[in-house]
C-alpha cells in the first residue's frame, strides 16, 4: 500500500502514520462521507500458504466485526473491514493523538492524578467491552491514545476475541505484549476479562513508575517466565493509587476486582474522594519471635500467589458484594501493638510484603475505648538503614529516624470498637524486618 491508493473504491490513502509488529497504520480519506479515517493494514506471514492466508484474512474479518460491536467515547471506533492486495484492512476512527507509551518515553513517570484521569477513561471503555462480551487481550501503553485535551482512548481491539467465541485458526495465535500480559496468559491459559484487569494494572503501573511491573527484556521467552512468576515489586511513586494498582496486579485472577469496580474506584480518585480500604488476606509466614517482637515476611518464589496490596487498595469486592467502607470491625491479628490510656488507641504494625531492598507494611489504628476518637497520631523509630519511601491514608512527618503519622482528613474519626489503616513502603540497606514498637494517641 502507498499514498494515493484507493481501497474498496472508497478510502483514499493519504500518508503513513506508523508501523507495528502486527500492521501498518495509514491516514486516509473516506471519499463517500468526506472524513479522515485511519486504515490499519494487517501484516500476513509472507511464507504462509494459501490456506493459512485465508485463515488469517477470516480471523481479521471476524476481529473487525467484534471490534465494530463496541461503541464508547473512550474506545477507537472500527468503521469497516476491507481487503486490499489480498490483505485485510481495518478502517477506524482517526484521532490526532500521542500514545501513552510515547508519553512515558518522553516524560518518564506521570503524577498519580494524571494517571487516575487516564485510567478511569480506559476502565470505562473496557467495562463496556466486557459487557459486550469482548476481551481486549492486549491492553498496554502503546494501545492507549492521548489527545491534547486529556482524552484517552483505547485502540487495537482488532486483536481481541469475543468471550466464548471459537478460534478461526487451527494453528493458534498469540495476541498480547509479554511485558503487560497477565501471569495466567503467560502460562498458556485463555485470556478473559480478569486478564484485561491485570493488563490495565500493568499499564497504570508503567505510567506511574516509568517502567512496566516486570521490567523490560528483549528476550520474549525470558519475559514470559518473569511474567508467569507474577512477582511484582510495589510501586514507589503511585501515592494513593499504590494499593489499587497492586490489587489489579494480584497473581490469582479470582482476587482481582471487576473492571466496573476499577472504574468506580478511579472515578472516586479523580473526584478527590478517599479510596475505601481493602483488606486482602496476605500470603505471609509468621516467623518465631525475635527480641520480643513478632515479624512477618512474604513467601517468595515462582509458586507464590503474588504480592499483597496493602493500605488503600479498595473497598470494592470481587463481584457485586458491598464495600466495607473506610473503617472495619475486624480484630487486629498478632503483631506489634501499643496502647495509650486516654482514649484507648491501639496501633499495630504488620509487614505485608518484602523484597531485597525494602518492604511494605500496613498499620492498623484501632479504638478500643468506649468513646469516639477524633484525631489520632502514631509514632515509631526507624531502625538503622531504613528510610520511609511512600505513605498513604495518613500524613507523615520524619525527623531523623523518628516517624510520626497523623490522620488524613477523611479518617480523622474512629468510632468506638472500630479501626482504620494506613500503608507505607520502606527502603532498606540491610535485611532487618522487625516490626517497630508503636506509640499511639488520640483525642
- Which are the catalytic amino acids? 138
Neighbours of 238 (CB within 10 A): 24
What is the spatial distance between Cα 424 and Cα 353, in angstroms, rounded to a whole number? 11
What is the spatial distance between Cα 258 and Cα 138, in angstroms, rounded to a whole number? 17
Phi, psi of 244 (to 5 degrees): -60, -45
C-alpha cell belonging to residue 434: 522487625
What is the spatial distance between Cα 131 and Cα 163, in angstroms, rounded to a whole number? 10
**At 387, is the secondary structure helix, strand, or coil?**
strand
What is the spatial distance between Cα 325 and Cα 323, in angstroms, rounded to a whole number? 5
Q: What is the dihedral of CA 125, 128, 133, 137, to 10 degrees?
A: 10
HEC secondary structure over 74-91: CECCEEEEEEECCEEEEE
Neighbours of 44 (CB within 10 A): 17
Amino acid at each position: 500500500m502507498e499514498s494515493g491508493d484507493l481501497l474498496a473504491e472508497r478510502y483514499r490513502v493519504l500518508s503513513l502514520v506508523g508501523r507495528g509488529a502486527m500492521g501498518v497504520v495509514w491516514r486516509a480519506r473516506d471519499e463517500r462521507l468526506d472524513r479522515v479515517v485511519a486504515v490499519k493494514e494487517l501484516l500476513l506471514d509472507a511464507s504462509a500458504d494459501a490456506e493459512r492466508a485465508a485463515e488469517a484474512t477470516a480471523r481479521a474479518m471476524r476481529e473487525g466485526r467484534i471490534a465494530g460491536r463496541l461503541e464508547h467515547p473512550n474506545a477507537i471506533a472500527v468503521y469497516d473491514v476491507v481487503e486490499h492486495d489480498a490483505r485485510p484492512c481495518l478502517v477506524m476512527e482517526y484521532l490526532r493523538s500521542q500514545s501513552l507509551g510515547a508519553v512515558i518515553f518522553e516524560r518518564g513517570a506521570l503524577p498519580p492524578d494524571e494517571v487516575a484521569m487516564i485510567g478511569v477513561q480506559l476502565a470505562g471503555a473496557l467495562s463496556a467491552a466486557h459487557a459486550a462480551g469482548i476481551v481486549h487481550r492486549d491492553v498496554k501503553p502503546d494501545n492507549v491514545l492521548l489527545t491534547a485535551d486529556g482524552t484517552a482512548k483505547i485502540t487495537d481491539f482488532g486483536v481481541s476475541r469475543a468471550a466464548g467465541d471459537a478460534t478461526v485458526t487451527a494453528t493458534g495465535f498469540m495476541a498480547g505484549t509479554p511485558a503487560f500480559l497477565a501471569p495466567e496468559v503467560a502460562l498458556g491459559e485463555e485470556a478473559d476479562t480478569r486478564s484485561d484487569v491485570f493488563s490495565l494494572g500493568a499499564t497504570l503501573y508503567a505510567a506511574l513508575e516509568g517502567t512496566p511491573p516486570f521490567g523490560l527484556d528483549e528476550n520474549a521467552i525470558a519475559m514470559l517466565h518473569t511474567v508467569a512468576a507474577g512477582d511484582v515489586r510495589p510501586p514507589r511513586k503511585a501515592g494513593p493509587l499504590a494499593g489499587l494498582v497492586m490489587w489489579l496486579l494480584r497473581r490469582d485472577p479470582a482476587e482481582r476486582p471487576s473492571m466496573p469496580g476499577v472504574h468506580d474506584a478511579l472515578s472516586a480518585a479523580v473526584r478527590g474522594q478517599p479510596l475505601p480500604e481493602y483488606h486482602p488476606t496476605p500470603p505471609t509466614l509468621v516467623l518465631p519471635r525475635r527480641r520480643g517482637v513478632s515479624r512477618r515476611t512474604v513467601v517468595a518464589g515462582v509458586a507464590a500467589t503474588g504480592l499483597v496490596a496493602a493500605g488503600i487498595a479498595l473497598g470494592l469486592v470481587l463481584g457485586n458484594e458491598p464495600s466495607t467502607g473506610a473503617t472495619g470491625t475486624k480484630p487486629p491479628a498478632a503483631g506489634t501493638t501499643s496502647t495509650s490510656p486516654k482514649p484507648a488507641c491501639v496501633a499495630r504494625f504488620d509487614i505485608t510484603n518484602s523484597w531485597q531492598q525494602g518492604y511494605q507494611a500496613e498499620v492498623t489504628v484501632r479504638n478500643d475505648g468506649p468513646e469516639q476518637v477524633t484525631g489520632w497520631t502514631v509514632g515509631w523509630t526507624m531502625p538503622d538503614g531504613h528510610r520511609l519511601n511512600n505513605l498513604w491514608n495518613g500524613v507523615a512527618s520524619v525527623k531523623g529516624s523518628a516517624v510520626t503519622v497523623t490522620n488524613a482528613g477523611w479518617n480523622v474519626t474512629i468510632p468506638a470498637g472500630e479501626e482504620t489503616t494506613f500503608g507505607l513502603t520502606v527502603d532498606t540497606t540491610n535485611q532487618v524486618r522487625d516490626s517497630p514498637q508503636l506509640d499511639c494517641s488520640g483525642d
